Structure 1
Amino acid sequence: MTTVTSGISFMRMMIAAAIALATASPVWADLVKVDDQGQFVQLINGKTLTRPLIKIKVSPDGEIAGRGSLWDIEGSWSWQDGYFCRDLFWGGDELGYNCQEVQASADGRIKFTSDRGAGDSAMFSLR
């Protein structure tokens, strides 16, 4: 009986550990500010930024292209003073020039916040 009892205790301990791991907030999923162009290019190179109904490619050479809902997205970007600065057109409408704070996580999320981090935000998955 000791073996069965210790086996049950071990199983309870393993289940408790699995539950604790599943409900823990992983530190690696936290968003971290992207400060330099090289780090940004490494994140986006060969990837597509996606969110519902939107798919955008941001190329290392400064081009932006994709599709949002039913309209084409196109534009250009540069890196200035720690910010992603873009000039964007969506469906032919100019969205204008804006420098945005970029944050990324190790789990493949990237967040852009307009007006150098003081404005609206958009979260994308990198795929």
Structure 2
Amino acid sequence: MLRVIASVLLLAAPLPAAANGFEPVRDKGDFLSLVKDRVLRIGLYNLSLRVLPDGRIEGSALGWGITGTWHWKDGYFCREMDWSGMKISYNCQLVEARGAEQLRFTVDQGAGDSATFRLR
């Protein structure tokens, strides 16, 4: 189970990178308006993240804390995190939105695997 959560935190859940209904989010302001005062959730793993405007990431998965930092670079969400002592390496990711209800993050600037979060 821990390995599964780690994979999701790495944003490497095996989902296709191109699915219907998602639109790229290329602007930091647009991204911030989507995540402002909201929680990114994957219920199956009890994973909750808050992406804060000051560059911090806070959350938890399976009851263990998640911390991290992020910045916006050339239209991509770049982050590094720590899940209760397990380092999650720096990676810049393509962000796509399906309305204001879901965000999908695809590693390696859109070339890798994806994870989709519900916005609550």
TM range (shorter): 0.7 to 0.9
Identity %: 43
CA deviations over 1:28-76 (Å, ceiling 9, x no partner): x811000010000000010000012101100111100000113211000
Once the 2 structures are TM-superposed, how far is the Cα of residue 107 of structure 1 from its aligned partner?
Answer: 4.9
Number of aligned residue pairs: give it.
Answer: 99
Once the 2 structures are TM-superposed, how far is the Cα of residue 120 of structure 1 from its aligned partner?
Answer: 1.5
Decide which structure has greater helix share.
Answer: 1
Q: Which residue of 2 aligns with 1:60?
A: 53
| Higher RCO (C-alpha under 8 Å, 6+ residues apart) | 2
Once the 2 structures are TM-superposed, how far is the Cα of residue 125 of structure 1 from its aligned partner?
Answer: 0.4
Aligned equivalent of 2:40, options 46, 49, 55 = 49
Root-mean-square deviation (Å): 1.2
Q: Which residue of 1 aligns with 2:22?
A: 31
Matches within 5 A, 1:79-94: 79-94=72-87
Output the TM-score relative to the length of structure 1. 0.75
1:120 aligns with 2:109: no
Unaligned runs of at least 5 residues, structure 1: 1-28
Output the TM-score relative to the length of structure 2. 0.79
Runs of 4+ in 1 over 2 A off after TM superposition: none
Larger Rg: 1
Give the 3-state SS of the residue equivalent to 2:91 in structure 1: strand
